[in-house]
Amino acid sequence: MADLAAVKRALAAQRIETPSWAFGNSGTRFKVFAQAGVPRNPQEKIADAATVHRFTGVAPTVALHIPWDKVDDYAELRSYAESLGVGIGAVNTNVFQDDAYKLGSVTNPDAGVRRKATDHLLEAIAIMDATGSRDLKLWFADGINYPGQDDLRNRQDRLAAALRETYDRLGADQRILLEYKLFEPAFYATDVPDWGTSYAHCIELGEKATVCIDTGHHAPGTNIEFIVAFLLRQNKLGAFDFNSRFYADDDLMAGAADPFQLFRIMYEIVRGGALDPAYGINFMLDQCHNIETKIPAIIRSVMNIQEATAKALLVDRDALSRAQNDGDVLEANAVLMDAYNTDVRPLLAEVRADAGLDPNPVAAYRRSGYQERIVQDRVGGQQAGWGA
Ligand code: LRH
Ligand code: MN
């Protein structure tokens, strides 16, 4: 039987990083539906992230995306965040929105374009020096749409060269999170399409390079928890971009489309002893709230991850090992399903109450008047978005 006191301590210590861009307007190529009260600048995004932390107690850092969160003084932005009780987390680069990157950024056939892209990656590390961030999150939209459009090997050589230069610029306590994605915006070959490619580049780079798993970036039917188990064994899992999807990179609320998958992923994290923040995995959200109110959606997503984690922590590990070692297929599956089918909401309500928080963060947020206040205050100016 799981030790409930230990489970509650692990849940209280859980840390989830929110994405600044999820507080801004987002959508699809068909439409971006603007919402009243959306932030107009990085400071207002950070204020919303601090609000998520205020009601959940487990989201003390917010990831930035450059240039969407570009400011003149990043040290000042850091102090502002800290004044609201949050820290600046991962710094995300953006080499996917400049006209120069049509045929690729660090993989572009044109050396001048590769230089431009690599300089942006290096600029992001200088920003991390100011914000005190550990994680440089690299995602490359780079890829090709037609066979023959470019040489697949040459593009890997170009990518490796840019990664090497970036890696060598890292500070002692900084690291690379190399995110992969099967497709989109490239529709024939993506240069970092899967965990194996990211993993291989991370091994080539060194110990400060780790893989970032975005749960929306796999082919349908991919067993993501296997990737988690494998990378943990290799000590090469650095972070998650949590969201959920029914079809492609839908960026829906984590756990909304497939709570059982999120549970299986968190079980491999717990089984691997990797839940504790000290282990070093950065559990981030990466979502787009195209039609739903953004702050309660992010609070709900944090709660979904907490619920999946609580269920994973309740797995009777001894009974599971016994059944597995006995080859008792049905019993082994039943032990895991017992935990998954456990209603952990009362347990999480206790954990929140013990932390002086409202047991229902979404309801507490709705009662707080914060949403009405930002709708009233944030009038005029340019609402934040992807600027695509
Ligand atoms: C790419 C991605 C990446 C971010 C972007 C906001 O699909 O997952 O992590 O840079 O979304
Ligand atoms: Mn992502």
Distance, CA 251 to ligand 2 centroid (Å)?
8
How many C-beta atoms lie closer than 10 Å to residue 122's C-beta?
14
**pLDDT-based confidence at 2, cuts 50/70/90?**
confident
**Going by CA atoms, what residue is nearest to atom 3 of ligand 1?**
139
Instruction: Give the pLDDT confidence of 240-295 residue by residue, as tens digits.
Output: 999 999 999 999 999 999 999 999 999 999 999 999 999 999 999 999 999 999 99
Q: Please say if the pLDDT value at position 388 is more than 70.
A: no
**pLDDT-based confidence at 188, cuts 50/70/90?**
very high
Distance, CA 179 to ligand 2 centroid (Å)?
7
Q: Is the CB of residue 241 below 6 angstroms from any atom belonging to ligand 1?
A: yes
**pLDDT-based confidence at 213, cuts 50/70/90?**
very high
- Predicted confidence at residue 182, as pLDDT, reads 98
Distance, CA 283 to ligand 1 centroid (Å)?
15
| Three-state secondary structure readout of 76-119 | HHHHHHHHCCCEEEEEECCCCCCHHHCCCCCCCCCHHHHHHHHH
In the chain, the percentage of residues whose pLDDT exceeds 90 is 99
Amino acid letter, residue 21: W
What's phi and psi for 117, nearest 5 deg?
-65, -45
d(CA 126, CA 249): 30
Cα→Cα distances 299→22, 254, 366, Å: 12, 11, 11
Instruction: Give the pLDDT confidence of 292-305 residue by residue, as tens digits.
Output: 999 999 999 999 99
Among 374, 337, 383, which Cα is nearest to 49's?
374
Atom number, ligand 1, closest to the C-alpha of residue 243 = 8
Amino acid letter, residue 203: I
pLDDT (mean) for 301-327: 98
pLDDT (mean) for 35-56: 98
pLDDT (mean) for 35-59: 98
Residue at token pair 């120069």: 100
Q: Please say if the pLDDT value at position 176 is more than 90.
A: yes
Which alpha helices (H) appear in the chain, and where do they start and end? 4-12, 42-56, 74-83, 111-131, 152-169, 195-205, 224-233, 259-271, 294-313, 317-325, 329-340, 345-354, 361-368, 370-377
Instruction: Give the pLDDT confidence of 84-115 residue by residue, as tens digits.
Output: 999 999 999 999 999 999 999 999 999 999 99
Atom number, ligand 1, closest to the C-alpha of residue 19 = 6
Distance, CA 195 to ligand 2 centroid (Å)?
13
Distance, CA 164 to ligand 1 centroid (Å)?
22
Cα→Cα distances 59→88, 120, 133, 152, 212, Å: 11, 28, 15, 40, 19
Q: Please say if the pLDDT value at position 60 is more than 90.
A: yes
**Going by CA atoms, what residue is nearest to atom 9 of ligand 1?**
139
Q: pTM (2 decimals)?
A: 0.98
Q: Is the CB of residue 92 below 6 angstroms from any atom belonging to ligand 1?
A: yes
Chain centroid, CA 159 distance in Å: 22
Atom number, ligand 1, closest to the C-alpha of residue 386 = 6
Least distant ligand from the CA of 137: 1
Distance, CA 67 to ligand 1 centroid (Å)?
13
